[in-house]
Amino acid sequence: MFEMDGDGKAKKTKKEKKKERLEGMKKEMDIDDHEITIEELEMRYNTSIKTGLSSTYALEVLERDGANELRPPKGTPEYVKFARQLAGGLQCLMWVAACICFIAFGIEQARGNLTSFDNLYLAITLIAVVVVTGCFGYYQEFKSTNIIASFKNMVPQQALVIRDGQKNQINASQLVVDNSSLTGESEPQSKNADCTHENPLETKNIAFFSTTCLEGDRTIIGRIASLASGVGNEKTPIAIEIEHFVDIIAGLAMFFGFTFFVVAMFIGYAFLEAMIFFMAIVVAYVPEGLLATVTVCLSLTAKRLAKKNCVVKNLEAVETLGSTSVICSDKTGTLTQNRMTVAHLWFDNHVHAADTTEDQSGQSFDQSSETWRALARIAGLCNRAVFRPDQEGLPIPRRLVVGDASETALLKFTELTVGNVMDYRNRFNKVVEVPFNSTNKFQLSVHELEDPLDLRYLLVMKGAPERILERCSTILIKGQEQPMDEQWKESFQTAYMDLGGLGERVLGFCHVYLDEKEFPRGYHFDSDEMNFTTSALCFAGLISMIDPPRATVPDAVMKCRTAGIRVVMVTGDHPITARAIAANVGIISEGSETVEDIATRKRIPVEQVNKRDARACVINGGQLKDMSSEELDDVLRNHPEMVFARTSPQQKLIIGSIVAVTGDGVNDSPALKKADIGIAMGISGSDAAKNAADMILLDDNFASIVTGVEQGRLIFDNLKKSIAYTLTKNIPELTPYLIYITCSVPLPLGCITILFIELATDIYPSVSLAYEKAESDIMNLKPRNPRRDRLVNEALAAYSYFQIGAVQSFAGFTNYFAAMAQEGWFPLLCVGLRAQWEDVHLQDLQDSYGQEWTFSQRLYQQYTCYTVFFVSIEICQIADVLIRKTRRISVFQQGLFRNKVLVSAIVFQLLLGNLLCYCPGMPNIFNFMPIRVQWWFIPVPFGILIFVFDEVRKLGVRRHPGSWWDQELYY
């Protein structure tokens, strides 16, 4: 005992430690590298800006800290995965039942009853069912894990570094300077020496991953990855539902078992006998077939989803998506294309929209203007980005480019609109260039002209619009230079504000022909001194860029809204950009305003605005950090349209507890893991994200989520039907035993027969319900409320057990008594007959006609009763599967035979039933007797009753919504 206590303590402290570590990780990282001066930084990391690390030191560091790779997440051992499949709620119930069977078998054996192996068979079957379905589930998981494994991109990435003063391409496992996967930003940020933001992730002067800083798991990205693997797995809604329903089943089983234990004791059975009755009832109540049904239904849907490019890693996640009420989507890469694209141009005093579609299928703008030609020339020349070689075959938008995001966008844009930029640049020989820096905020280059006779130099410049404007004295309108007066300045301002308001990054462009005399050929241009004209330039226009939304997203977002699902955007971007994208894809719908919008419109301070008037809300990371969880709750409640901007990965985790999360970056992985269902992008997603996610969209298409939601909702409805169907027959399986105990009739239904119903004949029909089409337009309904709309609710249990199940029991007993009576045993004689009937030594028991029966004759008669009862349940279950097709609308509206699988399942059920009854040898192996054909028809009226009764029920439910009928009988 003491030792155990000690162990417990040790474990606890370990857990606490882990928790602490995790909490520590969730906190913002404390790095001041971006705040100190370059010199200090150089000192700290033994490097220099100019020459970089010495290769020996780099090797040393590499050895010390390990390669710049994430430690692969510790894979769950295969046997643990398999064991997990065997330890679900239902599985545990069945293990317990199997144990009970073994105990009952032991008791029987101990009492000298050496002939009865039923309990042993039952125990073995129960175990077999658990193991077989476990294998099935394991295989499913294994398969989807394989799909994911095949996705891992094994191509090592190269990086440009300064080592020993030389620029080298080195393998990225030694270095990576792309923040995109870390912060969700759409570009590797330009890293410069300014401290732009106190958050190390947002600031521009720090390049994570760099060998000079931290390596491998000690990088920020490494911390995030381990944060992700440290976050516990949340239970899926369906797992919660199944647990809930196992509780119900187990509770009812115990209730019935105990009641009849007491009854049996009261009647006068021996304690051991009553104990066996108790166990038998509990076992009879376990729905053996349900596990297989649920597993198969879920994997059918998973398969259907896989066809639509959603790979489900965890079977249960299939349903989770259906109950999703909020989708938190990462912006970059999920909602947007994750590439900067030129969106708008402003020249000739007009805003022109560029084509931002992924496949360049959109409308282009009027390119006839001279101004446009000048603007395109500046954009093409004043650009340092170049295409990687050997990419002629690829469409332009997909070609790889060396250069930063804006330049890439401009390069691709000019290549698309003008064409052959590289050649163009060669013709305009570059003389000098000044790269962009944050003090100047512009970039310029000086070129020779194409025309060899024209000896002027051309200066092209691009940069922050206001800085460009300062340097301009004229403006190009329709190819003509006009003086930059106040009017033009104002229209420039308007255009700039407009484009900026769209959340786009705006660049201004200008040029000037340098005076031939002042700057003759051979003039020495000095990029540091800038010994040339940089003012009184000619303004050409503005070009704005954005990471455009994917084409399919707005439609998908709309569908989600119709389905009552809130789409919340989470991004590390600037609030304005975030808001613009959100408005673009419909997350903030047309006409919705944020608190700030209302304040501006009404010209009142933000504080005076009633927060409830604002539908939309943009919250940035700083605000989120200061919010208590109640405040956050309140905000989420008040504003249906939410955008979280400038959030750090740690904060994504806070938001991540809302149901579904989509994302692609490593930074999203903790949230993906924490969410009820994490959805990762298959193409652009990082491995960490894919590992953490439950579902992967192979085509990166947000619209696939909508398909997933639809399938998830459908499977929830259909599982309900399947479960209702499966549960129903538990009652006609149980009542024979109860009557056997209380009325001492010969046993009407044996346990092998029960197993055949549960695991053979009824499996296919219950699975076929998974193919049922949706009853109504499920995508127009609200997501289910996990607290109210349970998978198995009281109404479902009561309706299945006490109504349909009761009818089935009556059908079984009618058939049982008919078969007994027609063979010579009248109902009243049967009551109380048990002791004599089961007396092995009594070879001449008289029936109602005075005929004498031997024990084996009686036994075969008992098997006949089993078969007759079996047939009754089968016939009623056919009616049952037909009524379960719909829950609300009439079966005829749904189409009685539309579900072909269901029809074939009924045929299969009948054929299997016939095979069991009439195959020679069955009586002695499985206790099935070839019964009289007439007995197949005795339960038919009860089947019709079930069908009619359910149609009446549905009619009442449809006619009187909200009435007691609806509440009690709609499941």
814, 890, 894, 914: residue in contact with other proteins (rule CB under 8 A): 814
Q: What letter would DSSP give residue 799?
A: I
Q: Residue 806 CB, nearest distance to other proteins (Å)?
A: 6
Q: Which 66-95 residues touch other proteins, going by CB under 8 A?
A: none
CB-wise, 248 or 598, nearer to other proteins?
248
| Position 860 contacts other proteins (CB under 8 A) | yes
| Position 793 contacts other proteins (CB under 8 A) | yes
26-55 in b/e form (b: 16+ CB < 10 A) is bebbebebbeeeeeebeeebebbeeebbee
824: left (phi over 0), alpha (psi -120 to 50) or beta: left
Q: Which 551-610 residues touch other proteins, going by CB under 8 A?
A: 561-562, 564-566
| Position 844 contacts other proteins (CB under 8 A) | yes
CA distance 293 to 905: 13
131, 599, 821, 940: residue in contact with other proteins (rule CB under 8 A): 821
847, 874, 880, 950: residue in contact with other proteins (rule CB under 8 A): 847
| Position 440 contacts other proteins (CB under 8 A) | no
Q: Which 933-962 residues touch other proteins, going by CB under 8 A?
A: 938, 941, 945, 961-962
132, 239, 683, 798: residue in contact with other proteins (rule CB under 8 A): 798
| Position 803 contacts other proteins (CB under 8 A) | yes
Orientation angle between helical segments 553-562 and 703-728, nearest 10 degrees: 40
Tokens (6 digits) for 869: 């009862």
Q: Residue 780 CB, nearest distance to other proteins (Å)?
A: 5
Tokens (6 digits) for 226: 């381990």
CB-wise, 259 or 780, nearer to other proteins?
780
109, 158, 309, 857: residue in contact with other proteins (rule CB under 8 A): 857
CB-wise, 172 or 798, nearer to other proteins?
798
The region of 139-147, 435-443, 535-543, 789-797 touching other proteins under the rule CB under 8 A is 789-797
Q: β-strand 430-434 against 442-448: which pairing, if any?
A: antiparallel
Q: Which 219-248 residues touch other proteins, going by CB under 8 A?
A: 248
Contact 541, 302 (CB under 8 A): no
CB-wise, 539 or 825, nearer to other proteins?
825
Contact 201, 648 (CB under 8 A): yes
CB-wise, 136 or 801, nearer to other proteins?
801
Orientation angle between helical segments 703-728 and 730-743, nearest 10 degrees: 20
**Using H for helix, E for strand and C for coil, what is the string for 90-156?**
HHHHHHHHHHHHHHHHHHHHHCCCCCCCHHHHHHHHHHHHHHHHHHHHHHHHHHHHHHHHCCCCCCC
225, HSE (Cβ side, Cα atoms, 13 Å): 23
Q: What letter would DSSP give residue 531?
A: -
CA distance 311 to 145: 9
CB-wise, 119 or 793, nearer to other proteins?
793
668 is catalytic: no
Q: Residue 2 CB, nearest distance to other proteins (Å)?
A: 36
Q: Which 636-655 residues touch other proteins, going by CB under 8 A?
A: 636-640, 653-655
| Position 37 contacts other proteins (CB under 8 A) | no
The region of 93-101, 209-217, 740-748, 794-802 touching other proteins under the rule CB under 8 A is 794-802
**Long-range contacts formed by 523-532: CB under 8 A, 24+ apart:** 523/457, 525/431, 525/432, 525/446, 526/432, 527/432, 527/433, 527/434, 530/434, 532/446, 532/459
Tokens (6 digits) for 395: 């469409």
Q: How many residues bind other proteins (CB under 8 A)?
A: 82
615, 838, 890, 891: residue in contact with other proteins (rule CB under 8 A): 615
Q: Which residues fall within 8 angstroms of residue 634, CB to CB, at 6 or more apart? A: none
| Position 256 contacts other proteins (CB under 8 A) | no
388, 782, 898, 900: residue in contact with other proteins (rule CB under 8 A): 782
CA distance 337 to 405: 13
37, 51, 233, 854: residue in contact with other proteins (rule CB under 8 A): 854
129, 660, 797, 833: residue in contact with other proteins (rule CB under 8 A): 797
Burial class (CB in 10 A: 0-12, 13-18, 19+), 925: exposed
Whole-angstrom Cα Rg for the chain: 37
| Position 892 contacts other proteins (CB under 8 A) | no
| Position 254 contacts other proteins (CB under 8 A) | no
Q: Where are the alpha helices (DSSP H) in 308-386?
A: 317-323, 370-381
The region of 300-308, 442-450, 800-808, 832-840 touching other proteins under the rule CB under 8 A is 800-808
The region of 261-269, 450-458, 571-579, 793-801 touching other proteins under the rule CB under 8 A is 793-801
43, 149, 193, 781: residue in contact with other proteins (rule CB under 8 A): 781
Q: Which 713-742 residues touch other proteins, going by CB under 8 A?
A: none
97, 300, 326, 706: residue in contact with other proteins (rule CB under 8 A): 326
CB-wise, 566 or 690, nearer to other proteins?
566
Q: What letter would DSSP give residue 336?
A: B
Contact 281, 260 (CB under 8 A): yes
Of 33, 118, 330, 547, which residue is the catalytic one?
A: 330
CB-wise, 297 or 957, nearer to other proteins?
957
CB-wise, 778 or 902, nearer to other proteins?
778
Q: Which residues fall within 8 angstroms of residue 268, CB to CB, at 6 or more apart? A: none
CB-wise, 292 or 659, nearer to other proteins?
659
| Position 633 contacts other proteins (CB under 8 A) | yes
**Which residues are designated catalytic?**
330
